[in-house]
Chains A and B, each alone.
Chain A
Amino acid sequence: MSFPQFYEKYKTQVFNLALRYTGITEEAEEITQDVFVAAHRHLDKFRGESDVNTWLYRITLNRCHDWSRSRSRKKRSFIQRWLNANDEPEPGHWNHPGAQLEEKEELRVLMSCIQGLPEKQKTALLLLKAEGKSQKEAATIMDISEKALESLFQRAKSGLQKKLNKTKE
C-alpha cells in the first residue's frame, strides 16, 4: 500500500481519536501529522491490518498523552506545580465541533477529569468507552492481559467519579 492510500484509509480514525481526546481541531491535526510522519517510517514493517490498527491506536494515544503533558507543563510553573501537586486539572479548552451546545460544558469537564487520570487508566477508559473497542482489542492495543485491563478500567472509573464529585463541590 502506498503512503497516500494508507493516509486515505486511516486519516479519519486517527484524526477523530485525537479530536475526541484534545477537543481542539488544530491540536488534533498536529497529532495526526505526527502520527502519519511516524507511520511513514514504519510503512514497510507492518504485517497485516490488525498490526496497523494496533500500532496506530497506540501511537495516537501516546501522542495525545504527550500533548496533555506538555499542556499541563506550560500551564503551570514549577513552583505552582510543587505547591498544588494534587490539584485537579482546570477545565480545558475541549470544544469538540460535533458536541451539541447543551452538552459541551458537561463533556468538557468530563474530558478534563479524564485527562487528569494516570495514562494507562485514561487509555483503558478511552479505548473501551470512547472508541468502543472490545476488551480483547483494547488489551491487545495496550499490550496487557484482559484481567489487567479490567482492573485498570475499574480504577479509572472510580478515580474519574471522585474527580467529577470534586468538581461539583
Chain B
Amino acid sequence: MEITSNPEMDPLDKKLERLGTLPEQEVSPFLFTRIKARLDKEQSMKIRPGLAWTLIATAFILLFAEVELVWKPERQLNPVNELAREMDLNPGNTLYP
C-alpha cells in the first residue's frame, strides 16, 4: 500500500508537504573552489604518512648498519675486549698492568 496523504484532511501532512515545496536555492559559486582546496589538502596529507614511513625505515637501516658494520666487528676484532667480556671484567684496568 502506497503512503498517501490528503492535505485537506491532515494539517500535519500539509505542513510536511510545505517543507518539500520550499523553493530550491542556488549553490554558492565558491563552493566548488572550497571542495577542490579540501581535496588538494587531503592529497598532500596522503604523501606525509608515506614520507614518515620512509624516514622510519631509513633510521632503522642506519641503526642496523651501525650495529652490523661498526659495532660488532670492533668487538670481534679486539681479543682483549672479547676476553674481558668472557671474564666479565673491565679491559681497561684488569688485563693490563
The total of interchain contacts (Cβ-Cβ below 8 angstroms) comes to 75
B86 at the interface (CB under 8 A from A): no
Give B29-60 interface residues, CB cut-off 8 Å to A: 31-32, 34-35, 38-39, 42
* CB < 8 Å neighbour of B35 from A7, A97, A98: A7
What is the total number of residues of chain B having a CB less than 8 Å from a CB of chain A? 25
B3:A135 contact, CB within 8 angstroms: yes
Of B9-17, B64-72, B77-85, the one touching chain A = B9-17
* CB < 8 Å neighbour of B15 from A15, A20, A32, A110: A110
A69 at the interface (CB under 8 A from B): no
A16:B24 contact, CB within 8 angstroms: yes
* CB < 8 Å neighbour of B23 from A11, A15, A37, A98: A98
Interface residues on chain A, size class: 35 or more
Binding site for B on A (CB under 8 A): 4, 7, 11-12, 15-16, 19-20, 25, 29, 32-33, 36-37, 40, 96-99, 103, 106-107, 110-111, 125-126, 128-132, 134-135, 149-150, 153, 157, 160-161, 164
Binding site for A on B (CB under 8 A): 1-3, 12-13, 15-20, 22-28, 31-32, 34-35, 38-39, 42
